[in-house]
Amino acid sequence: MGASTNEVEVSLVRRAREGDSNAYSELVRLHGLRAYRVAFSLLRDHPEAEDVVQEAFVTAYRNLARLKDTSLFWPWLARIVGNKARDLLRRQSAERKALKRVDRQLPAVSPGESDERAALWAAVWSLDEPHRMVVLLHYSGELSTVEVAAVLDRPVGTIRRWLAEAYKHLRGKIGKDVAL
Amino acid sequence: MSGREEDRLDALLDREVSDWYQGVRPRPEFLAELTTRDWNRAVEGRTTARNGTWFGEHLRRLITSKRFAWAMAAGLVLAITLSALNSRTIRAFLIPPEFPILEQQTLQGDDGVREGMTVSLRSGPKVFRLVFQTPVENRKGAEAALTELCQSCAFTFTWTNDRELQVYLPKDPQLPGPEATYTVGSINVKISAHQDFLWEWDVRSGTQSKVADVTGLTAWTISPDGRQAMLARTSASDHPPSIYIMDLDSGARTGGSFVLSSIWHPDGGSRILSSDGRIMDLRGRTVEDLSGDFAQPGPGGITTDWQARGQGQWDLVVRTPDGRDHKLSLPETDDTSPSSTERVGYPLWNLHWSADGSHLLVVQNRRPITSTVFLIDTTSGTMTELPVELDDAFDPIWVWLPDGERFAVSEHGKTIVLDLHGRRVTSFEGNALSWSPRGGYILFSDRVTDMEGHTLITIPPELRAVGWRSEGILVLQGRE
C-alpha cells in the first residue's frame, strides 16, 4: 500500500502526463545529471550537451502521452537524448567538429602519471566514433547494454559486437605500449 | 592476452572510464534552472534554449516552411469569417481571467508543429471541459475560434486521437445540461462538465463505487493502513505544491505542505516521511529531522545512517517503529564512502524492506554494470547472498510480496517472483507495481491479475490506479 521508489516515479510520470509541471521537475531532478552525462559522452562539448538535454526534456514532456510503460521513463529519456545528440552531430560539419573535439576529448593525464593510464586513453581515442561512444557509455557504469542500444539507436546485438571489436582494438593497442 | 590480463584491462577500463564519466558535470546553475523551470511554459516556447540556438533554428525552419504560409493564410480567412459571426452565444462562455490555471500543456506533433494546448481552469469545485469537434485539417480554424471565445485569458486546448479539440473551462454559466453543442462557423463546439473522482474498484466482483470528488487534485498514494490518501494540488503556478491527506471513509481533508516524493511512515498512516528526510505529521509540521540522504522507510523501521566498521565495511543504522536504533551489517564494498551516490552516480546499495519487516533486500551495485543481491534477516542480522540472475540493467523494479517470503523483480516488461533463497517461483508478463495487502492480486500499469496471471480487470485510460485500500479493493482516480 505504501509507495516504493519505482511506484513514486511511475506516479510522477503519470502526474506529469496530466500536465503537472512540479511532478515533471522532480523527474528532471532525478534524471538531469544522468541525461547530461549521456549527452556529453556523445558530444563532448558542454554548451552543446546543455542544449541537447534541454531539448530532450522538452520533447519528453510534450510526448509523455506516448510513453506506453510509465515504469520505463529513464530508458525512454536516454533514447531521446541520444537521438537529439546524434541529430546535432549530423547537422554539424564533420571536419570542423572533429577538429574541435580532438582538443577537448582527452582527459588530463599529467606528466609522470602511469604509462598504463596514458596508453589506455590514447587507445580509447584512437577508436572510431561509434566504437568510442559504446566504450564510454558501457564502461560508464550507469547504463545497461539495452540502454546503450537505445541511446545509439542500434540493436543490442550490434552494441555487443561493437564492444567486442572495440575491446579487441584496445587490447592490441595497449598491449604494444604497456605490459598489462 | 591471458584471462588475468583481460581482467586487468576490464578493471582499468571500468575505473578510468567510470571516473571520467562521473567527472562530467554541467554548470550547477544549469541543473538548478532545469529543476525549477515551469515546464508547461517551457513547452509553449516561452522559455528558450540557453543560448538561443535551438529556438532560432526552429523559428527559422517554421517561418520558411510551406505549412506556415498555409497556416497564416488559413488563419487570416478564418479571422475574417469569425469576425462576421454573431458572437452573443459564444461570448456567454468567455473565461474570466481571474480563474486560476490548474494545469497547462502544449502538445507538439512529430513534425515539430504545435498541435494544441490544454489548460484546466477551476471555479469552486468544478472544472468544465470544452470539446471542439473539427476535422483535423481545420485545426487552425478551431484555434482561431478558441481565440474568439477567450480574449482575455490564457485558454488552452488539446487534440485528441479522435480529432477532437478539448479545452478546459472554469464554468458554464448557461449550460442547458451536462453537454451542449454550438457551431462557430463550420466548427462544432461541444461543452461538457468534467469532474474527477476517487473510485474504489473491487477487482473480484468488478463493481466500482465513487469515494470522493477530487477535481483539481491528484491522488498520490494510499497509506499503509489503507485508510487515507495523499493528494497533491496540480497547479502549474503552485510551487511547492499543496498536499492534502484525505480520510477515505469520511472524505475529510487535512491540508499541509510537504515536499514532493513524500511517502508514508511505517507506523501506518499518522506520519509522513518527506524525501528530504523529515518526519512530519498530517498537518505538515516537522516531528523529527533525519538525515535525508539515508532515510528509507519500511515496515521494519527507517534507515537513518551508515557507520564505518572498518575498511569497506559498513553498518546500516535502523530506527524501529518503537524508536530504538539497531545496526545491520552490509555487504563489503571496495568503495570508501557508501554515501557517494552523487559521486558515483548511483547508490551503492538499494534497500527494499519486506512487507512484514523481517527481511531487507540489499542490491549492491558494482561498476561497471553488475549487481549482487543480498538478503538480511533483520532479527538475527545474518546476511545471505542470493543467486539472482539480473540483466545488466540498474533499474529493475523490486516488490516484496505481502507474506515476506517472496519478492519480485521486473525488468524489460517481465516480472519474476523469487523465494528467500533466490529460487524462481513464477513469472508474469509486464512490470508488477504492487501486490494487494494479502497477496492475492497483482497491480500492473494497465491491469490487475490474480496470482495465476489471469486478468481480472483492465484499467481504462481515463482511470489510473493509486494503490490498494484493502485486499481486492483498488483505489483509482479518474472521470466518470
Place of cell 476517487: B198
> How far is the C-alpha of B168 from the C-alpha of B141, rounded, in Å?
18
Quick check: A6 and B433 CB within 8 A?
yes
Helix (H, G, I), strand (E, B) or coil at B479: strand
CB contact under 8 A, B297 and A37: no
What residues contact B330, with CB distance under 8 A and at least 6 apart? Answer: B306, B313, B314, B315, B316, B338, B349, B362, B376, B383
Nearest CA of chain B to the CA of A75: how many Å?
A: 9
Domains of chain B, residue spans: 1-36, 74-194
Nearest CA to CA, how far is A122 from chain B (Å)? 12
Question: Does A169 or B108 have the greater pLDDT score?
Answer: A169
Interchain proximity A22–B240, CB inside 8 Å: yes
| CB nearest B26 (choices: A1, A36, A175) | A36
B329 grid coordinates: 551489517
Size of interface A-B (CB pairs under 8 A): 237
pTM over 0.80: no
Q: Which three-class secondary structure state does DSSP give residue B151?
A: coil
Q: Are B386 and B340 spatial neighbours (Cβ–Cβ below 8 Å)? A: no
What is residue B224's predicted lDDT score, i.e. its pLDDT? Answer: 82
pLDDT tens digits for A128-167?
888 888 898 988 878 888 888 888 888 877 888 888 888 8
Nearest-Cα distance to chain B for A32, in Å, is 7
pLDDT of residue B17: 85
- Report d(CA B130, CA B151) in Å as an integer: 16
Residues in chain A within 8 Å Cβ distance of B397: 4, 6, 71
Cell 554515501, residue?
B339
Amino acid (1-letter code) at residue A43: L
**Largest interatomic CA distance in chain A:** 59
Digit-coded pLDDT (tens) for A22-73: 888 888 988 999 999 999 888 888 888 888 898 899 888 888 877 877 778 8
Mutation pick from B223, B395, B429 vs chain A, by most beta carbons of A within 10 Å, is B395
pLDDT at B371: 73
Chain A residues inside the 8 Å CB shell of B53: 51
Count CB neighbours of B105 within 10 A. 26
Q: Which of B24, B394, B413 sits opposite A144 (nearest CB)?
A: B394
- Please check whether residue B28 touches A, CB under 8 A: no
Q: Which of residues 315-354 of B touch A (CB under 8 A)?
A: 344-346, 352
Residue-level pLDDT at B205: 92
The better pLDDT of the pair B100, A8 is held by: A8
Half-sphere CA count of A28, side-chain side, radius 13 A? 26
Distance CA B378, CA B360 (A): 7
In this predicted structure, what is the pLDDT of residue B164?
Answer: 45
Type and span of the H or E element at A168: helix A156-177
CB A46 to CB B26 under 8 A?
yes
Longest dimension (CA), chain B: 86
Amino acid sitting at position A102: V
- The whole-number pLDDT of residue B217 equals 73
User: Would you state the pLDDT for residue B82?
Assistant: 45
Q: Are B167 and B155 in contact (CB under 8 A)?
A: yes
What's phi and psi for B447, nearest 5 deg? Answer: -165, 170
Each residue of B240-265: b (16+ CB within 10 Å) or e?
A: ebbbbbbbbeeeebeebebbbbbbbb
Mean pLDDT for chain A overall: 78
Position A158 scores a pLDDT of 82
Helix runs in A112-155, H state only: 115-125, 129-138, 145-152
Residue B354 backbone phi and psi in degrees, to 5:
-75, 160
Residues 242-281 of B with CB under 8 A from A: 260-261, 263-264, 266
- d(CA A122, CA A149) in angstroms, rounded, equals 25
User: Is A25 within 8 Å of B37 when comparing Cβ atoms?
Assistant: yes
User: Which residues of chain A make contact with B20, given a CB cutoff of 8 A?
Assistant: 107, 136
Q: How is residue B192 written as a grid cell?
A: 461538457
Contacts of A38 (CB under 8 A, 6+ apart): A78, A81, A82, A85, A137, A143, A151
Going from the N-terminus, what domains does chain A have, and what CATH number goes with each?
1-94 (1.10.1740.10), 106-180 (1.10.10.10)
Q: Is B83 exposed, middle or buried (0-12, 13-18, 19+ CB in 10 A)?
A: exposed
Q: In angstroms, what is the C-alpha Rg of chain A?
A: 19
CA-to-CA dists, residue A61 to B29, B182, B440, angstroms? 21, 33, 36
Q: What is the DSSP letter of A127?
A: S
Tell me how close the Cα of B50 comes to any Cα of chain A, in angstroms: 7
Give me A102's grid cell. 580532438
Distance, CA of B143 to CA of B164 (rounded, Å): 12
Q: What is the pLDDT along chain B (480 residues), one digit of tens a residue?
A: 455 666 678 778 888 888 888 888 888 778 887 877 777 666 653 222 233 344 444 555 555 566 666 666 666 655 544 443 322 222 223 333 333 334 433 333 343 333 333 334 444 444 444 444 333 344 555 555 555 544 433 344 444 444 444 554 433 334 444 555 555 445 555 555 556 789 999 999 999 999 988 876 778 788 888 888 888 765 444 445 567 788 998 888 876 655 545 667 766 677 777 666 677 777 777 777 765 555 666 767 777 777 777 777 778 888 776 777 888 887 776 655 554 443 344 456 778 888 778 888 888 766 545 678 889 998 888 889 888 877 654 567 888 998 889 999 987 778 999 999 989 999 999 889 899 999 999 999 889 999 999 999 999 877 889 999 999 999 999 877
What B60-68 contacts at long range (C-beta under 8 Å, 24+ apart), as own/partner pairs, is B61/B112, B62/B112, B62/B113, B67/B111, B67/B113
CA–chain centroid gap for B11, Å, is: 37
Task: Please tell me which residue of chain A has the smallest CA distance to B398.
Answer: A6
What's the average model confidence in pLDDT over A87-91? 77
Q: Do residues B441 and B456 make contact, with C-beta atoms less than 8 angstroms apart? A: yes
pLDDT score of B326: 81
**Model confidence over B12-58: pLDDT tens digits?**
888 888 888 888 888 877 888 787 777 766 665 322 223 334 444 45
Q: Which pLDDT score, from 0 to 100, does residue B417 have? A: 93
Closest CA to A36 of A12, B377, A45, A63: A45
ω before B368 within 30° of 0 (cis)? yes
- Asked if A15 and B221 touch (Cβ cutoff 8 Å), the reply is no
The per-residue pLDDT for B233 is: 64
